Structures are given as C-alpha cells and as structure tokens.
Amino acid sequence: MVTIQEALRIIQDQKISLKSELKPLEEALGFALETETIAPFDVPEFDNSAMDGYALCGLFQEYQLVGEVAAGDSKEIELKDGEAVRIFTGAKVPEKATAVMMQEKTSVKESTLYLDEMPRVGQNIRKKGGQLTEGQTVFEKGHLLNPPSLSLMGSLGLEALEVISKPKINIITTGNELVKPGQPKTVGQIYESNSFAISGALQQFGFQYHQKTQIKDDFDATKVGIKRALESCDVLIISGGISVGDYDFVKQSLEENGVNELFYKVFQKPGKPLYFGRKENQFVFALPGNPASSLTCFYVYVLPLLHRLSGYEKNGLTTYQFPIKHPFKNTFGRPSFLKAAVIDGNVEILDGQGSSMIRSMAKGNALAFVDDGETLNDGDMVRCKLIS
C-alpha cells in the first residue's frame, strides 16, 4: 500500500520516451509541441493600421488626400509632410506616415482631410515586430496547443506542426457478471458500464482508445486477453479483477505477461485496490471495478500519465480551492476524493459517496479532496479538481 503522494510521485518519476509526428494545423488542438517554435519573421511583418481611417504624414489638423491603401495592398505610397491616405484596418502603413486617425474623428471636403483633434506620433499604428520579432521564441518545446496557439501558428504561415504523438490506449473490462447494454441478461448479472465512463473520460480530454475488449473471470482468458491487448498499445487500462477475490486474475496475469508492479493499493477512498505497472515502454493501470472508484482513479492517476506521455508541461487536472458550503468531516478513515459540486463558487460535498454510486458523480462537477480525519467548517477552503 502506498500513499496518494507516493503513487503520484511514482507516476511522475517514470522515465518515458516520446514519439512525434507532423500534424496539420487544423488537427493539432490538444497536442504538445515537439520543438521550440522560432518566429520566421516579425509579427506584424509590417507597420499596419489598427483602425479604419487615415494615415497622416506630419502632425497637422489638415491634410491633402493623395490615395488609398486597403488591407492586402502591396503598393508603397511616398507621403510628404501634410499629405494623408485613406487606410483600412490591417493595411500596410506608408513608410513616412506619422500616425493614423480613426475615420470617426475626421471629415473630408473635396480632397482635403480635416481632423477633429490633433494626432499623436505613432497613434493607431501597430508596429512591425510588436508581437514577435524574427528569431524570437514563440513557444517553448512542450507548449500545449490551445485555440489561440493555433491562431498564432497560422499567422506564422505554419500549415503543419511537429507535435508529440498521443499514447495508443487499449481498454479491458473483466467480470463474468457483465453483459453489454442492450443485450438480455439473467438474475445476478449486471450491465457493463465502466468502459463507457473510461472511453468518455478519454474523449473529454482529447484521447481515444484503440481497442476495447471484454474478458471473462478465467485465468487463461485473462492472461491471453492481456497479452493480446499489450501487442497494440502504449497504455492498457483494465477495469475490475484486481481485488483479492478468488476470481481476480488480473494481477497474476499481468505478472505472467512480464508486467512489473510499480504500486498496488493506494491508501485512499475510493479506489484503494488500484494497480500500476510497467513492461518496457508500456504502462498498465488496473482500476477497481466500482464505477466511482474507477473514474476517480482515472482522473487522479491515469490522466497525469497520459499527459506525460503526450509531452505536456503540466500533468493532470489543476487543483483549485473554493470555500465549502456546509461543514464536513472526513470520517471514512482514509484520505478521500469526494463527489462534489462547485456551484456559484462554493463547494458542496454530495450525498452518495459510496464506491458504487455514480449518479452523484454525474450530477456533480468536481472531485473534492479531504484528508483523513480533516474537519472543514463553513467557508474553509477545499481542494477541488473540476471534472465537468
């Protein structure tokens, strides 16, 4: 048995080797950059207008209008003192322009431009290199590509990016009692549901599984099932069969498949019988069979590993602190990840904390961490991971 901190440390300390691939910009969301990105040119690449208005040469209140520059125009207009050109947002500002005046503060009579106020040097001109200069680091290696990053990469003209590949994931569910939803079942059987939570949680965080297999509680079937699954994945997630019962064959089957245990059992509630192992560059999580335990272990332990294998700088869900709404004491005898709802900035610990209770988790949006024996009074801060 290890503590939560020890388990997380073991995951964090695994030496891993990353793979990379070239992704079209449009498909690169949620991937981490394989290399530092260097600006290939200044951004903006030329002085340009921040407004629709007039580019002015010298500081006056009247100008002679001598032309127009639209966005995308490549022509260069030679301005002289007292001359102005019509200009539009994003258009290249003529070399000798002193400022741009927004059109709402101007009037034009014949070819003379009158300003409502005196212009200031550099006003409404976005300077060449104002955001990035050629050769500057845009993003460090490992930067996670979010929507604004895609925009910036696009503006650098990059149509594809070298990113860290995401891990290939297989899922195995175990249990003789399990029947697929939609199929007939007999007394004593239940519908298999954990794999839907796991595949949903993978999708929620931008991952997908490669194969999903259901195996019976039988030593040979378990051993063969694990062998097959390990043939085509970087991470194997097994649900159930990892407890101490006579029908729990997962642990022994993993050993016989050459998987080395890194930890087994974590001092926590829910999710005590959690297993983590490794075979060369492949990782195996065996999650407890109870629905809430299984999903909690996914958010707390599996996700940080998937993030590491994807080259992320920050791994796992961020922990935020919010005040608790009602007093709470953790009398479960173990440090606990509790189903919770953060509503209007306050944390409510929900009813239905049992390991098999999944409805409370579905209705909440957070996992609240409360230490063994910890008492929280009204307004005390609770550590929370936001899960939906």
Footprint of a copy of itself on residues 316-375 (CB under 8 A)? 318, 320-322, 342, 345, 352, 354-359, 361-362, 365
Contact (Cβ atoms closer than 8 angstroms) between residue 43 and residue 165: no
Nearer to a copy of itself, 3 or 146 (CB): 146
For β-strands 282-287 and 235-239, DSSP reports them as: parallel
Among 19, 60, 196, 315, binds a copy of itself (CB under 8 A): 196
Which of 46, 332 has the CB closer to a copy of itself?
A: 46
Nearer to a copy of itself, 69 or 230 (CB): 69
Binding of a copy of itself by 117 (CB under 8 A): no
- φ and ψ at 138, to 5 degrees? -85, -55
Cα gap 369→336, rounded to integer Å: 6
- In sequence order, which ranges of the chain are alpha helices (DSSP H)? 4-13, 147-155, 194-204, 219-230, 250-256, 291-297, 303-309, 359-363
Binding to a copy of itself by CB under 8 A, coded x per residue (else -) over 64-83, reads ------xxxxxx--------
Contact 247, 199 (CB under 8 A): no
Q: Which is nearer to a copy of itself, 14 or 35 (CB)?
A: 35
Q: Which burial class, exposed, middle or buried, applies to 69 when counting CB atoms under 10 A from its CB (0-12, 13-18, 19+)?
A: buried
Q: In the complex with a copy of itself, which residue's Cβ is closer, 8 or 386?
A: 386
158 binds a copy of itself (CB under 8 A): yes
Rounded least distance, CB 278 to a copy of itself, Å: 25
Site string for a copy of itself, 228-267 (x = CB under 8 A): ---------------xxxxxx-------------------
Residues of this chain, 269-298, that bind a copy of itself according to CB under 8 A: 289, 291-292, 295
CB of 373 to a copy of itself, least distance (A): 22
H or E stretch at 73: none
Q: How far is CA 376 from CA 181, 320, 347, in A?
A: 40, 16, 11
CB of 15 to a copy of itself, least distance (A): 27
Q: Which of 35, 189, 211, 213 binds a copy of itself (CB under 8 A)?
A: 189
Say whether residue 126 binds a copy of itself (CB under 8 A).
yes
Of the pair 222, 257, the CB lying nearest a copy of itself is at: 222
Residue located via tokens 């983590």: 276
Determine if 37 is a binding residue for a copy of itself (CB under 8 A): no
Least Å distance between CB 86 and a copy of itself?
Answer: 8
Does 15 participate in binding a copy of itself (rule CB under 8 A)?
Answer: no
Is the omega angle on the peptide bond into residue 44 within 30 degrees of 0, that is, cis? yes
Handedness of CA 135, 140, 141, 146 (dihedral sign): negative
In this structure, are residues 212 and 199 in contact, taking their beta carbons and an 8 Å threshold? yes
CA distances from 185 to 189, 287, 311, 337, 365 (A): 6, 24, 43, 33, 32
Peptide bond into 270 cis (omega under 30): yes
Rounded to the nearest whole angstrom, what is the least distance from the CB of residue 183 to a copy of itself in the complex?
8
- Contacting residue, 4, 33, 85, 91, with a copy of itself by CB under 8 A: 91
Q: With contacts defined by CB under 8 A, how many residues of the chain interact with a copy of itself?
A: 105
